[in-house]
Every structure is written in C-alpha cells, then in structure tokens.
Amino acid sequence: MNVKGGDAARGLAAAAILGLVAFVLLVQYAPDSVAFSPNNYGWNGLQGVASTYRVNFTTSLATVPPGSVVVVSQPSINFSASDATAVKSFLLGGGTVLVADTSGVANELLARLGSGIALQSQYDVVDRTYNWKSSSVPTALVLPSAKSQFRFLANVTGIALNKPSPLIVTGQAAALAVTSEFSTYSTPDGRVVRGPFVVMAAQKFGSGTLIVIGDSQFLLNSEWTVADNRVLIGNLFANTTVFVDASHWGASSIAQLKAEFGQAYSLVSAVPMRYVAVLFVLGVALALVPSGERKTGRGTTT
C-alpha cells in the first residue's frame, strides 16, 4: 500500500508540474484579445510591434536596464514618487521613455519628473484635411526644425493618430509634431479652437530622452503601420530592448503575467541561480522517477 501511495503522489506532482509548464506556455504564446496584449492579433493588440522588435513587459520600472526604451501606454494607475524617481534615474542614465497616453494618468508622472509637457486629455483633436480615414484619426506633421535635434525623427514626416489629445509644452521641452492648421478641438462650452496643436513633444534629461505622444493607440496593431509610424517606431525600437510598463494597468492582464514570467526567468538565468535551478530540476526529475523503475532499468529486479 505504501508503494502505491508514493507512486500516486509522484503522479500528482508530475501532473501539477506539467500543468504549470502548459500554463506558462499558453500565457507566453497563445493568442488572446486583451487590449495591449502582445498575443493579441486584433486591432487593439501589440502583437505587431512585439513580434518585430525585442519587446518585454515589466512590472517594475526600477529594474529596467539602462540604455533601453521604456514605453508607458495608456496607464490607469497613478504614478508614485518612487516610480518617478526610478524613471528619472533611468532617463539620466541614457534611457528613452515613450509615453503614449490620452487618459491623462501619465500627467502625474510627467509632473513628478519636472517635465514641461502635460496632456490635455479632456480634448480630442480632429482634422478634416490631414487624416488617414476621417477627421477623428488625424495625421500629425513633424516639424522640420525638430528633425535636426532628434535623430529618431529621421525620415518621419507624418504620424497617424487616433483621437489624439493636445499637449501643453513649456520650459525645456520641445514640440516635435503638430496637427495641421486645419485641425480643431471643441471645448465643453461648444467653442471650437483652431490648430495647429502639439501632439508629440520631447525633453532631454541628461543623456536620456522623454518622448510624449498624445495618443494611447500609437503602438497598437491598427495604427503602427499607418503613415510614417512604422519608421518612427523603428527608429526608436531598433537595436535596443523595449520594456512596456505593465505595472500601471489596473486590470490584471496577460502582459502583466508575461512581465512576471520574464522577471522570474531573468532571476533564474543569472549566475549562480542557473546552476541551482538545473540541480533543482534534476532533483525533481529524480524524485519523480520511481525507485523500482530505476532498478528495473539496471536489470536487478528482485
């Protein structure tokens, strides 16, 4: 009876481990329809960008390696002082931070960083002339003067947007792209304000660069290949590693799980943990193989 009980326990353990592995693989590779998910092939997914560039998801802004690119897209949880400190340290270390937002939640981060950029999330800019389908999806134009200052604007002229929010740019910040002079937005009291409006701006922090785009959907599958968006994203993401911030999304998402897995993998793959992990796996494997099986394999069954 004891032998049978041990075998049953081992079987359960093996099934649990296989289940865990299957779960991780499903999270990592199975298609889904969650917004901003790297496995989402639909209009609101990030599959296009995530499969073209080295894109990871992170749940800790403090652990992003220097010199890479951090993307903050449509955050729904406010940024703390420690978040801002981590981002500022990352920027001063030469990193690039791309904020793509229309919700206005990123304003907390922009303010804590001391940047001269703020999102006017209460307005949606429309343009009857410069657009890629209709007035609610305008195409912004890159300012020629900005191209000489920021190399990532090379060969970028028009940026396709979706219900963008105008930006307020002051101090050291520089406007990079504006909607055309034909663009407008309406105030709650019915007044129509004429453009051009700044919808993309940047500010240098040490050797790093903060870039703000007033459009949450800039990286989504439905938008990233329109106009010169692909060129701009390529200029920013090529030859580096991109970390999408999943720590400021309210609902638990696949991206957050992927970020957790990624961080766990980074931890386990580092020396000396990798050796410990290998030994652990070997130990588990040996423990799961019944002792009788082992003896039978050597031909000494009694």
Partner 1 sequence: MTTTVPPSFAKLQDPGTVKVNHDLSALANYYNSTLTKIGTGNFQNASFLLGTFRFVNIPPAVNATAQLANSDLATVNITSANATALFQQAELLVRAKQYVNATALTLAGCALAQQANRSLADFQGPQTARFKTESVPVDMYSVGSKLASDEVRALLSECIHLRDLLGLNGGTSGTAPVLLIGSPQTAIETGGTLKVVGNLTLQGSGVPQQDVLFYLNGTYFGSLTTGSSGDLGGTLRIPFVYTHTVVVQAFVAPNSTINVGGASSNTLVFEILFNETAIVIGDPPAILPTFSFPVEGNLTTVSGVALPDAPVKITFISESLILHTDAKGAFATRLTVPANATDGIYNVYASFAPQGVFGPSFNFTSIQVVHLPMVLKLDAPSLSFPGFATTLTGTAYSNGTAVAGANVTVSSPWGSSSARTDSSGAFRISVPVSALEFAFSRNVSVSASAPQPYVASAVITKSLGLFNILLVVLPAAAIGIVGYEADRLGVFEALKKSRSREEAEYEELFAGQAQDLTALDLEGGPELLEAYRRALGLASKRFAIRFRKSQTIREMTAAVGARDSGEGFRLFRGIMLTAEDLLYSKDFERARLKTALDDLPKLEEAWR
108/203 with CB nearer partner 1: 108
Q: What is the Cα–Cα distance from 142 to 177, expressed in whole angstroms?
A: 4
28/222 with CB nearer partner 1: 222
5/250 with CB nearer partner 1: 250
From residue 272, alpha-carbon distances to 230, 268, 269, 275, 280 in Å are 40, 8, 8, 6, 13
Q: What is the Cα–Cα distance from 262 to 4, expressed in whole angstroms?
A: 38
Q: Is the peptide bond before 196 cis (omega within 30 degrees of 0)?
A: yes
Is the backbone of residue 3 left (phi > 0), alpha (psi -120 to 50) or beta? alpha
User: What is the nearest approach in angstroms of partner 1 to the Cβ of residue 135?
Assistant: 7
User: What is the nearest approach in angstroms of partner 1 to the Cβ of residue 206?
Assistant: 18
User: What is the nearest approach in angstroms of partner 1 to the Cβ of residue 109?
Assistant: 13
User: What is the nearest approach in angstroms of partner 1 to the Cβ of residue 126?
Assistant: 11
User: What is the nearest approach in angstroms of partner 1 to the Cβ of residue 68?
Assistant: 20
39/203 with CB nearer partner 1: 39
Structural Rg of the chain based on CA atoms: 25
Per the CB < 8 A criterion, the answer to whether 137 and 157 are in contact is: no
194/284 with CB nearer partner 1: 194
> Residue 158's CB: how many other CB atoms inside 10 A?
20
Tokens representing 76 are 């729904």
Question: Residues interacting with partner 1, by CB under 8 A?
Answer: 35-36, 43-44, 74, 76-78, 102-103, 105, 128-137, 139, 141, 144, 157-158, 162-163, 180-182, 216-217, 220, 222-223, 227, 249-251, 298, 300
